[in-house]
Amino acid sequence: MKGFLGFLALGAALLLMTACEGTDGVKTIKLAHSLDISHPVHKGMAFMAEELERVSDGQMIMDIYPSGQLGSERQLLELLQIGSLDITKVSASAVENFVPNMKVLSLPYLFRDEAHQWDVLLGDVGKELLEDGAKYWLRGLCFYDAGSRSFYTKDKAINTPDDLKGLKIRVQNSQTAISMVKTMGGAPTPISYGELYTALQQGVVDGAENNAPSFYTSHHYEVCKYYTIDEHTSVPDVLFISTHAWDKLSAQEKDWLTAAVEASVPEQRRLWKEADAEALAEVTKAGVEIIRPDKQPFREIVASIFENYKDEPEVYDLIQRIQAK
């Protein structure tokens, strides 16, 4: 069934791409992602689409297909690689299986604080990581704010790492995330984001981990009544364009798209801060207990993870440069 659905998604994308050149000289590019339209990252991309139309004076437009209409994050990345979709937004965790060095951004407590994170992402290391995907037909355009990921659970509050022992925690299909939860004592369970609500309802997993806006917009707060703000990772979202699509753009079209992307980054970060505050307020009103634990025990228990990358020189070098910044 999964293969059949993947085939349908591919077929849909291929059909969409037949109109990419547009009519009357208007260039249309297609963007697909898995988020709900109420999500601040979607709103940031909608702003980007408006900017693209504005800066190009209507000569270049962007069609956005949200909510997983064209497939999962993995399927969308694969569509970019074969040139059947132009742009997608995925979590840096989801892309580490495609762009190996991107895994560094999923390491727990890699950044000292938000200022440190954006200093890195907007600096040389961030630029290198975006460019690194090009050899895999994925050209990074920018990073978007996805806040910090924290644990949420159904029946048991998480106050210390010990509270995770024996709990099945949904994680992304990321070896880094799996290793982190396992080190903390939990049982990491990769499940598709679209299947997570049902998995929580049915007890397939005891909890998950994500940022506050995603916890809210996914309605997972209806099932999970404990949200522990331990902020173990600050994994950004990444906007990718297929190198096949990028190479077909004229110099002028590349400039228009780059301008729209760059304008969207500060706007998306502003939208994120608003959404984060709203999400915490709304889930609290819905009866969720917000827990703000001492983060130090969480930091200490996963500190050894960094040393596991000594046999991956490129990743270990990135870790050293990020921590030294």
Contact residues for 66 (Cβ-Cβ < 8 A; gap 6+): 32, 33, 34, 35, 36, 37, 42
Average pLDDT, the chain: 92
pLDDT tens digit sequence for 64-81 = 999 999 998 999 999 999
Rg value, the chain, Cα: 20
Q: Residue 21: is its pLDDT beyond 90?
A: no
Q: Residue 320: is its pLDDT beyond 80?
A: yes
Percent of the chain as helix, strand, coil, to the nearest 5: 55, 20, 30
pLDDT tens digit sequence for 164-189 = 999 999 998 888 899 999 999 999 99
Architecture in CATH for domain 149-234+278-324 = 3-Layer(aba) Sandwich (3.40)
Identify the band that residue 94 occupies on the pLDDT scale cut at 50, 70 and 90. Answer: confident
Domain boundaries, the chain: 2-144+235-266, 149-234+278-324
pTM over 0.75: yes
CA–CA separation, 54 and 263 (whole Å):
12
Residue 20's pLDDT is: 56
Q: Residue 217: is its pLDDT beyond 80?
A: yes
Which residue, among 171, 9, 159, 158, has the nearest Cα to 88 in the 3D structure? 9
Architecture in CATH for domain 2-144+235-266 = 3-Layer(aba) Sandwich (3.40)
Q: CATH topology of 2-144+235-266 equal to that of 149-234+278-324?
A: yes
pLDDT tens digit sequence for 111-131 = 999 999 999 999 999 999 999
- Sort strands 207-210 and 149-153 into parallel, antiparallel or unpaired: antiparallel
- Cβ contact 96:102 at 8 Å: yes
Q: Residue 1: is its pLDDT beyond 90?
A: no
Contact residues for 135 (Cβ-Cβ < 8 A; gap 6+): none
Q: How many CB atoms lie within 10 A of CB 321?
A: 15
CA–CA separation, 6 and 118 (whole Å):
35
Identify the band that residue 25 occupies on the pLDDT scale cut at 50, 70 and 90. Answer: confident
Residue 5's pLDDT is: 44
